[in-house]
Structure 1
């Protein structure tokens, strides 16, 4: 079962340049995402795990925390230190944290 981090723990990690992977669909990502998040739709995760490092934590986020748990499970099974972000991008935005829009990942 995927390990989960709170919004507060994720915000602290994000502020410290954490690697964030957004597993929502492209249109969701484009509408608004955590700045610096790398887009990787859930269906592509099994084939793209080799793009992720195994020597640092990876924070996985989706809309509400469900898809990110599935993705984090896949990543952990492949030796990636992955954590699902509880309550997802929705909670991130509701608490007034920064949101970036557009189809390209933005440097944090």
Structure 2
């Protein structure tokens, strides 16, 4: 099963305080990210998977959904309830949701 979630389901989860990680590169993140998303570049996911909570959904987002799907696939294999946000930050913006700019990496 592909660990992917539709943008509307993610928006609801985000509103309710979901754990969100952004797997883009720092410059992409700084240019605009979902509020509260923690930056863990895709190249660091394996090394930092232990930082993620277990027993709750972890939403993984990137620019379009490709990197986040690969990261979520890995996280699911190591026992984390990870879900890739279909369409990524681009879809989030197209749907009219706001982004936060800057390098702050925690909520």
Determine the structure 2 residue equivalent to 1:37: 37
Aligned positions, number: 107
- TM-score, L = length of structure 2: 0.96
Q: Which runs of 5+ in 2 are unaligned?
A: none
| Secondary structure of 1:20's aligned partner | strand
- TM-score, L = length of structure 1: 0.96
Determine the structure 2 residue equivalent to 1:105: 105
Q: Which runs of 5+ in 1 are unaligned?
A: none
| Secondary structure of 1:2's aligned partner | coil
TM-superposed deviation, 1:18: 0.2
Q: CA RMSD in A?
A: 0.9
Match runs of 1:3-22 below 5 Å: 3-22=3-22
Q: Does 1:24 align with 2:24?
A: yes
TM-superposed deviation, 1:92: 0.2
| Secondary structure of 2:54's aligned partner | coil
